[in-house]
C-alpha cells in the first residue's frame, strides 16, 4: 500500500542577505510592499527586516516599469500587502537572483505523514509530495517520517534496503517516491 507524505510550509522562509547595519545574515519577510511611482514609471519592492537589529531592506520586484503594463490585479495585491504575493515572489528564482539573496527554510516547513504507524511493516512504499519547492535532504525526511536516526537511514541506503528513482543523498525540492525494506 502506497503511503502519501507531504512537505508543507509553516511560514515564509527567511531571506539570507548580509545586513549593512549589524552584519547579521537573516531577514524576515512579513508580506509588506512599497510601491513608488515616477510619473509614468513604477517601482515595487518587497520589504524585509533584519532578525537582529530590525533594519529594513527592499527586495526589488518591479523597476521602472510603465504603469500601463502592470495588471490592475497585481497593483491591488501590492497595495493590499498580499502575503500570498510575497510567497510567490520568494519562490521566483529571477527575483532571488536579481536581489542576490537565497532562502533559509530551517524551521519553516513540516513533514505530514498522515499519522500512519510504519514501524511494524516490513516493506514501505511512500510518495513524498511538496506543496512548494522547499529544498530538503530526502534522507532527513525518511528518517523523520519512519522514526529512524539519520545514521540508520544512511545504513539502509548503503545496504540497498532503501531505494528510489532519485538520488536520496543530496537535496531535493520536488516530488519523489521511495521503498524501504526492513
CB-based contact 127:175 (threshold 8 Å):
yes
| C-alpha atoms less than 13 angstroms from C-alpha of 75 in its C-beta half-sphere | 12
Q: Which position has the grid cell 543530496? A: 170
pLDDT-based confidence at residue 147 (cuts at 50, 70, 90): confident
Q: How far apart are CA 147 and CA 119, in angstroms?
A: 8
Q: How far apart are CA 170 and CA 152, in angstroms?
A: 16
Does the pLDDT value for residue 104 go beyond 90? yes
pTM of this prediction?
Answer: 0.81
Confidence at residue 122, expressed as pLDDT on a 0 to 100 scale: 84
Residues ≥6 apart with Cβ < 8 Å to 124: 3, 118, 146, 179, 180
Does the pLDDT value for residue 1 go beyond 80? no
155-173 pLDDT, tens digit per residue, is: 999 999 999 999 998 899 9
18-65 pLDDT, tens digit per residue, is: 999 998 999 999 899 999 998 899 999 999 999 999 999 999 999 999
Three cell numbers at 39?
A: 510619473
Amino acid at each position: 500500500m502506497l503511503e502519501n507524505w507531504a512537505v508543507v510550509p509553516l511560514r515564509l522562509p527567511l531571506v539570507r542577505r548580509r545586513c549593512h547595519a549589524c552584519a547579521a545574515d537573516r531577514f524576515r519577510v512579513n508580506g509588506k510592499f512599497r510601491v513608488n511611482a515616477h510619473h509614468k514609471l513604477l517601482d515595487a519592492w518587497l520589504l524585509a527586516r533584519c532578525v537582529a537589529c530590525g533594519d529594513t531592506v527592499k527586495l526589488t520586484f518591479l523597476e521602472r516599469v510603465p504603469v500601463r503594463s502592470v495588471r490592475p490585479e497585481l497593483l491591488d495585491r501590492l497595495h493590499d500587502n498580499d502575503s500570498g504575493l510575497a510567497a510567490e515572489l520568494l519562490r521566483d528564482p529571477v527575483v532571488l537572483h536579481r536581489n542576490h539573496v537565497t532562502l533559509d527554510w530551517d524551521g519553516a516547513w513540516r513533514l505530514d505523514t498522515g499519522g500512519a504507524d510504519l514501524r511494524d511493516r516490513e516493506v514501505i512504499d511512500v510518495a513524498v509530495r511538496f506543496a512548494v519547492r522547499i529544498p530538503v535532504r530526502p534522507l532527513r525526511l525518511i528518517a523523520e517520517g519512519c522514526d529512524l536516526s539519520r545514521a540508520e537511514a544512511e545504513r539502509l541506503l548503503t545496504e540497498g534496503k532503501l531505494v528510489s528513482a532519485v538520488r536520496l543523498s543530496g537535496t531535493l525540492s520536488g516530488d519523489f517516491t521511495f521503498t524501504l525494506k526492513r
